[in-house]
Structure 1
Amino acid sequence: MGNRLTNESSKNVIEEDYEDLDMRSPGLFALLVMLLSYIKPEKSTPVQPMCDIRVLDKYIREAKDAANTTCEEACTLPGNITLPKTNVNYREWTTKDPGTKAAEVQTGLALLAVAVQKAQNMTVNSNMLYLIEKSYSNIRSITQMVRSLSTPDVLNREPQLLTTFNTRTLRTIFHVYLNFLQGKVRLFMLNTAACNLATS
């Protein structure tokens, strides 16, 4: 009997507590909404683009490995592939404005991406396919890196006309890719102010 009374009284107390919580919940919610409305998120400053030349050097090493691995005879393609010529006149390059340099680099990378993708569609050798796919992925990453260092007006420029030539060998494709990275891409990144910290 005593236990029953005790249990019933405990039950009543618990029910009252729940009722109190239910009554307080809307008030607590309203208070939280009011507090949150007063808290204004700070305006985040845009992150300045930074490039680390060591990242490009890693891609250059991988391009060099691909060029050295590819044989001339076993990797002839059934169709022509268009590639950009990679020779750089350093004196002429230094006289170009940053926008022109960026546009040339982006156009060259776009040509290389198309060339590597075409080579992928023409290749059946599984070992070569791995190198091609890896190179294509790296070209896309390098393109993003170059774009992040370019101003909006540069990104909207018309593609630059580059001198091109045709090839039918994977070896030539990889060598052109390597030369382009070591030449115009590296020069462009070293001339970018954001790279100075990474190279110091």
Structure 2
Amino acid sequence: MVYCSGFFALLLIFLEWIRPGLPSPLRPICDMRVLNHFIEEARDAEAAMRFCKEECSVAVPLTVPLTSVDFAVWEKKNIEEQAQEVQAGLWLLNMAISSLSASITSSALHSHIDATIRNIASLKQVLRSLSIQDYVPTGGGTEETWRVSSASELFQVHINFLRGKVYLVLRNAPVCQQQIT
């Protein structure tokens, strides 16, 4: 009986130590090299798609976020509005790239598409680490969008979105500003 209760106590100590079911809070990821990695992979995908003509055309134009930034308007938005715009854009890009995936048959191109989808998921995790909430689409979306008709255009938008709005949100995230000072 003593052996059993000692084992039980040891088990409780171990379970308390690892705390199953209670995830540890994410540490903020403020290192811009992470974003640069995603940008480089997006460039690689865009380069691969650039030489693909017929196989990479899309039957129906894909909706993507606008990548241009009007700094006067952007600066007037609070960080939550900026973050929401980035999350909405990542959602649109993920939907467009997933749609493209369904129409591409080349396994080499699929590897770039799959990597891009994984990178968007990782980028969303980075944003969560900065306490930026996920985007939940609503019926009355206010995102500014446009349409692309080729894989190359889609990946060019992806690169520009990462280099523009995503960069601005990550650079100006309050938790990252606190670490700098």
1:109–1:139 contact (8 Å) kept in structure 2: yes
Partner of 2:151: 170
1:179 matched residue in structure 2: 160
Deviations 1:29-53 (A, max 9, x none): 557878999xxx6999x64631122
* Change beyond 3 A, Cα 1:90–1:29: same
**Superposed displacement of residue 194, structure 1:** 3.0
2:111 paired with 1:133: no
Q: CA RMSD in A?
A: 3.3
Q: Could you tell me whether the CA contact under 8 Å between 2:100 and 2:151 is conserved in 1?
A: yes
Show structure 1 runs of 5+ residues with no match: 1-25
Aligned mates of 1:29, 1:110 — CA distance in 2: 52
Offset from partner CA, 1:53-100 (integer Å, 9 cap, x none): 211110011111222232263421222211111111122212211111
Counterpart among 24, 30, 43 of residue 64 in structure 1: 43
State the percentage of identical aligned residues: 29
Query: In the alignment, residue 63 of structure 2 is paired with which amino acid?
Result: T
Partner deviation per Cα, 1:161-196 (whole Å, 9 max, x = no partner): 212122220000100000010011111000013334
Alignment correspondent of 2:174: 193
**CA–CA distance in 2 between the matches of 1:197 and 1:55?**
19
Give the aligned residue type for 1:49: R
1:109-151 Cα shifts (integer Å, max 9, x gaps)? 0000000000000111222211111111111111122133235
Amino acid at match of 1:140: A
Residue type of the alignment partner of 2:130: L
Describe how 1:106-117 pairs up with structure 2 within 5 A. Answer: 106-117=87-98
> TM-score, normalising length from structure 1?
0.71
Match of 1:121 among 102, 122, 145: 102
Task: Give the total of aligned pairs.
Answer: 173
| TM-score normalised by length of structure 2 | 0.78
**Matching residue's letter, 2:28:** M
Unpaired runs of at least 5, structure 2: none
User: Which residue identity lines up with residue 132 of structure 1 in the other structure?
Assistant: I
* Conservation of the 8 A alpha-carbon contact between 2:62 and 2:149: yes
